[in-house]
Structure 1
Amino acid sequence: MRRGERAGGESGAPGSPPRSGVPSPRRGSSRPEASLYRAVIRFNGGAQAGHNVLTPDGRHHTFAQFGSGTFHGVPTHLSRFMLVEPFGLAAEAAHLAELGVPRPFDLLSADSRALLTTPYHRAANRVREAARDRTPGATRHGSCGMGIGETVSFSLAVSPDKPPRVGDCRSRPELLRKLRALRDHVAADLELSGLRLPADLPGPECCADVYQAFAQRVRIVDEERSGYLGALLDSGPCVFEGAQGALLDEWYGFHPHTTWSTTTFANAGQLLTESGQDRDSALRLGVVRTYTTRHGAGPMPTEDAALAPGLPEPHNETGAWQGAFRVGHFDAVAHRYALDVCGGADALVVTHADAAAEGRRLCWAYQATTDIPPMAKLPRSLMPDLDYQRLLTKTVSKSRPLYRPGPEDPRDWPDLIGEELATPVGLVSHGPTWRHKAVRQSCVS
């Protein structure tokens, strides 16, 4: 989903981004006390995540691969579903150190099976996306330009032993063999479309230097032998931190404006099961704003540029690859669908409850055509079906939103959203830092 504020968290495309775990927040506060949380576990996506955290003392960091609890000394574990980008991790660690986090890499562990995103993946991603601008009738899919899709695509196109993985960073000969083969494969694949890799990319030797430095600083775990994640979960409450939102999900999002990653709760549930945990013991949180946003291309029926001046966005800028950050009226239809494909949520986290309410409305249904009744709920496919998702995208793109007036007092938005989505509100955010978050004890304990 969207790139967003993760002091309370929020998504980057319409829909509720999943965040699950077994949190035990201090009553009356949502401060992420290090003593209460054993770890933050990343369970999807990679370096394209952008979770902005602002502290009360004015520090700001956009968390991409480190977990959003890092300021409080909470360790991060990158699970096997994570796409790890060591160049980006090094830059992120350097910024965290500048902000006062001592030895950030000491807080990081990674599953040896996690795929590596390389400069070759990233370059291929950007070359293909740019080519769509030059192709008649083609439009950008919407991309962060970080190589996420290329990483997954390559891993599916070859045998499991071919893609470079985190565990390979411990062996320079293995790294070089895989990096050279990857570079040659990507170059040949691009040439089939008349495209070329840039000539100024770092060579395999340079990449191997960075990756081996990463391996020396980070705890790499062989999960199948060590049971590291299970022990971590047994040691205390953990938070599973997702990346991007449900409407960008690789199987249930508005295709082709989607990511190559499962953005629902599914991966977190699978990790719990594999670790011998009861997935039903996790508290599943869906994070939404009081208005709908989307960063980049894709359908957004409630988009209204007139709202933008009253809804300033300090940390989500227009990007060369991702495109513009778009705002619109709260889309209950899209969010109902997001909850549906996630299997529901135990509670909602509603952010931006302090945002200006003037002129904002609530979309309760779509009118696709005049000869059918309004749709308050989008039909979902029972099985992954990208052809169905394309048709759904076309339907949503052509639909006209039907509105009800929104509340005049912005403080009334969270309750209205909870009612519309038939899900209790567990936490409300009235500002950018943890001091502006309020836990509703009736929902989160």
Structure 2
Amino acid sequence: MDRKLVILGAQWGDEGKGKIVDLLSENYDVTVRYQGGSNAGHTVIANGEKFILHLLPTGILHNHVVGVIAQGMVVDLDVLDRELEGLREKGIGYEGRLLVSDRAHLVMPYHKLLDRLFEKKSGIGTTLRGIGPAYMFKFGRKGIRLADLDDERRLYSLIEENVAFVKDICEKVFCENHDLDAGRIFEETLEKYSKYRGLVRDVSQYLLRTDKTLLFEGAQGTMLDVDMGTYPYVTSSNSSALGLSNGTGLSPKFFSDAYFVGVAKAYTTRVGGGPFPTELEGEEGKRLRDLGGEYGSTTGRPRRCGWLDLVALKYAVELNHFDGIILTKLDVLDTFDEIKVCVAYDYEGERLEHFPASLKVLESSRPVYETLRGWKRSTKGAKELKELPQGAKDYIRFIEEFTGVPVIMLSTGPRREEFVWLRELPQIKVSSL
């Protein structure tokens, strides 16, 4: 295998990255989360048990893997505590296997309060976990890093200043009161930190100097990238490959020999507001949602569903320079007589073949579809190439030809063992289509 593997979401998140990272982590020594925070929700079914990890790297479920929370993440100590306690209850030890960057910023109680107020005003569709405000404070130079928790005098001053700032916003902008208490937040933060102080270190130096194999786990998806996604209906971090360097503190050259894989569903979903050219309304959309169990693992919200948008997927392929695609939930399409794929957009009579930046253009565009024949046979749980019907292979080949990169693996169900290799990853020999 390659020494460095990067797994990224190729759509609007919820592509099934959790299972893929869990599956491939078996072959790696270290897995790294480097952007986002507990707004992620990576679901894994392992050994008959369901795990939903919001903050921890998914690879931590393997006893040999070191999990790393790198500097680009925003860390909620309450969530970290709950997730680690959940691992302990299920007999998974993390001692000596979890590192947290001293440069990572904290999600504080006042960030969650602001998130609720901002969402009430804007309706972007955030998870209300305080992630956006935490990044806002970071870039506004009001953030608190884990490294700051060892300087109690400075920490109290920062919290006091931030609580006063938030109080002004609540009362003067939103005309609401709050019950934030700087002293209580200070004491509770130090109490939580004392439990996990031994995990905190300079993660960038660790990654730079280790000779272990590394898997980098993206959260959310490329189309939610704060710079390259459907702004402003995006997440608060770089969820494309652009986030790798600033999220880890490593030079772009460090990743020049990495293998980049995008995870995509065989159809398209998104949560919250924002443009979605292939969204299906009515019964067709409901059918996809019900067959795919499309409800958010973090929020429980029903996801918006539509046919596969190849314009958006090709954009993600080019932006991230993917070496291959892992396709999930192909079985959701098993019962359809015909399956549509979007190959272009129609904007006021003009055919668009590249994903536009303009919100107005996206909201006014209509999908240009090609229709493929369905295969009308179950692919669920398939573990060998020969189990796939020809129609499913044709669908995969169409995706490959349009995007210009191979589909290297299919996930055929939620469990670890439900997958099919279609192409050759370094040092993994498989049959070809």
Q: Is the pair's TM-score, using the shorter chain for normalization, greater than 0.5?
A: yes
Number of residue pairs the alignment of both structures matches? 397
- Cα distance in 1 for residues equivalent to 2:102 and 2:193: 13
1:178 equivalent to 2:158? Answer yes
Report the counterpart of residue 304 of structure 1 in structure 2.
280
Quote the offset at 1:50 in angstroms: 0.6
- Cα distance in 2 for residues equivalent to 1:260 and 1:13: 13
- Cα distance in 1 for residues equivalent to 2:369 and 2:118: 38
- Structure 2 letter corresponding to 1:437: F
Report the counterpart of residue 131 of structure 2 in structure 1.
148
Quote the offset at 1:354 in angstroms: 1.8
1:98 equivalent to 2:89? Answer yes
- Counterpart of 1:261 in 2: which secondary structure? coil
- Cα distance in 2 for residues equivalent to 1:250 and 1:89: 24
- Cα distance in 2 for residues equivalent to 1:318 and 1:442: 31
Using the aligned pairs only, state the percent identity. 24
- Counterpart of 2:37 in 1: which secondary structure? coil
- Alignment CA distance shift 1:94-1:85 (3 Å): same
**Residues 11 and 264 of structure 2 are in contact (CA less than 8 Å); yes or no, is this contact kept in structure 1?**
no
Structure 1: give runs of 5+ residues left out of the alignment.
Answer: 1-7, 133-139, 380-388
- Structure 1 letter corresponding to 2:125: G
**Residues 46 and 83 of structure 1 are in contact (CA less than 8 Å); yes or no, is this contact kept in structure 2?**
yes
Quote the offset at 1:300 in angstroms: 0.8
Quote the offset at 1:318 in angstroms: 8.8
- Structure 1 letter corresponding to 2:312: A
- Alignment CA distance shift 1:156-1:276 (3 Å): closer
- Counterpart of 2:332 in 1: which secondary structure? coil
- Structure 2 letter corresponding to 1:128: F
Deviation track 1:250-293 (CA, whole Å, cap 9, x = no partner) reads 11111110111011112324567836963221011111000001
- Counterpart of 2:417 in 1: which secondary structure? helix
1:362 equivalent to 2:341? Answer yes
**Mapping of residues 220-235 of structure 1, within 5 Å:** 220-223=200-203, 227-231=205-209, 234-235=210-211
Deviation track 1:377-403 (CA, whole Å, cap 9, x = no partner) reads 225xxxxxxxxx4xx122111111111
- Counterpart of 2:215 in 1: which secondary structure? strand
Deviation track 1:338-376 (CA, whole Å, cap 9, x = no partner) reads 22333x201111111222341531011110112x2x212
Report the counterpart of residue 32 of structure 1 in structure 2.
25
1:424 equivalent to 2:403? Answer no
- Alignment CA distance shift 1:16-1:270 (3 Å): farther
Deviation track 1:6-62 (CA, whole Å, cap 9, x = no partner) reads xx986661798999xxx9x9xxxx5532xx31211111111111111111x321111
**Mapping of residues 123-134 of structure 1, within 5 Å:** 123-132=113-122
- Cα distance in 1 for residues equivalent to 2:411 and 2:16: 16
- Cα distance in 2 for residues equivalent to 1:429 and 1:17: 9
**Residues 366 and 402 of structure 1 are in contact (CA less than 8 Å); yes or no, is this contact kept in structure 2?**
yes
36, 41, 60: which one aligns with 1:45:
36
Quote the offset at 1:308 in angstroms: 3.0
- Structure 1 letter corresponding to 2:156: L
- Cα distance in 1 for residues equivalent to 2:252 and 2:13: 33
- Alignment CA distance shift 1:100-1:79 (3 Å): same
1:330 equivalent to 2:308? Answer yes
- Cα distance in 2 for residues equivalent to 1:287 and 1:45: 17
**Structure with the greater relative contact order (CA < 8 A, sep ≥ 6): 1 or 2?**
1
- Counterpart of 1:113 in 2: which secondary structure? coil
- Structure 1 letter corresponding to 2:264: V
- Counterpart of 2:399 in 1: which secondary structure? helix
- Alignment CA distance shift 1:281-1:46 (3 Å): same
**Residues 18 and 265 of structure 1 are in contact (CA less than 8 Å); yes or no, is this contact kept in structure 2?**
no
**Residues 348 and 423 of structure 1 are in contact (CA less than 8 Å); yes or no, is this contact kept in structure 2?**
yes
98, 103, 106: which one aligns with 1:116:
106
TM-score (norm 2): 0.82
Provide the alpha-carbon RMSD of the alignment. Answer: 3.0
- Cα distance in 1 for residues equivalent to 2:421 and 2:414: 15
Deviation track 1:388-423 (CA, whole Å, cap 9, x = no partner) reads x4xx12211111111111341263333322222111
**Residues 16 and 43 of structure 2 are in contact (CA less than 8 Å); yes or no, is this contact kept in structure 1?**
no
- Cα distance in 1 for residues equivalent to 2:402 and 2:82: 42
**Residues 311 and 355 of structure 2 are in contact (CA less than 8 Å); yes or no, is this contact kept in structure 1?**
yes
- Structure 2 letter corresponding to 1:246: T
Deviation track 1:190-234 (CA, whole Å, cap 9, x = no partner) reads 333134364277932343244323433x4211357xx22212xx3
**Residues 8 and 221 of structure 2 are in contact (CA less than 8 Å); yes or no, is this contact kept in structure 1?**
no
- Cα distance in 2 for residues equivalent to 1:12 and 1:59: 27
- Cα distance in 2 for residues equivalent to 1:175 and 1:395: 46
- Structure 2 letter corresponding to 1:76: G
- Cα distance in 1 for residues equivalent to 2:208 and 2:125: 36
**Mapping of residues 181-330 of structure 1, within 5 Å:** 181-196=161-176, 198-199=178-179, 203-216=184-197, 218-223=198-203, 227-231=205-209, 234-269=210-245, 274=250, 278-305=254-281, 306-312=284-290, 313-314=292-293, 316-317=295-296, 323-330=301-308
Report the counterpart of residue 53 of structure 2 in structure 1.
63
TM-score (norm 1): 0.80
- Counterpart of 1:281 in 2: which secondary structure? coil
79, 90, 97: which one aligns with 1:107:
97
- Structure 2 letter corresponding to 1:32: S
Quote the offset at 1:118 in angstroms: 0.9
